[in-house]
Homo-oligomer: A and B are copies of this chain.
């Protein structure tokens, strides 16, 4: 999995009907506790995350398991809202 920050939302009316009812968040993946990686990820949210939240995302078939629909056409899902990260790095 990766740790990412929710930075927004994306809406699409013309879409695969199997996406109906799924909230789609825009995120940036953390490189470390201060910096974010270039690039946008869109993930389906199943835990009620919102803009600014630090979250856990899972990709591929695991994302389909997260939303409980193996036929969902999604390849990324928010699977948890991070309470805290404890990281020990050599100074």
Contact = CB atoms under 8 A, between A and B. Distances in A.
Given A58-B74, A61-B60, A80-B19, A87 B12 contact: no
B48 A14 contact: yes
Contact of A60 (B8, B15, B62): B62
Nearest to A52: B88
A91 interface: no
30 contacts: A1-B24, A1-B41, A1-B75, A2-B41, A2-B42, A3-B26, A7-B87, A8-B86, A10-B56, A10-B85, A10-B86, A12-B81, A12-B83, A13-B83, A15-B47, A16-B66, A24-B56, A26-B86, A29-B39, A51-B88, A58-B74, A58-B75, A59-B75, A61-B62, A61-B64, A63-B75, A65-B70, A65-B71, A65-B73, A74-B79
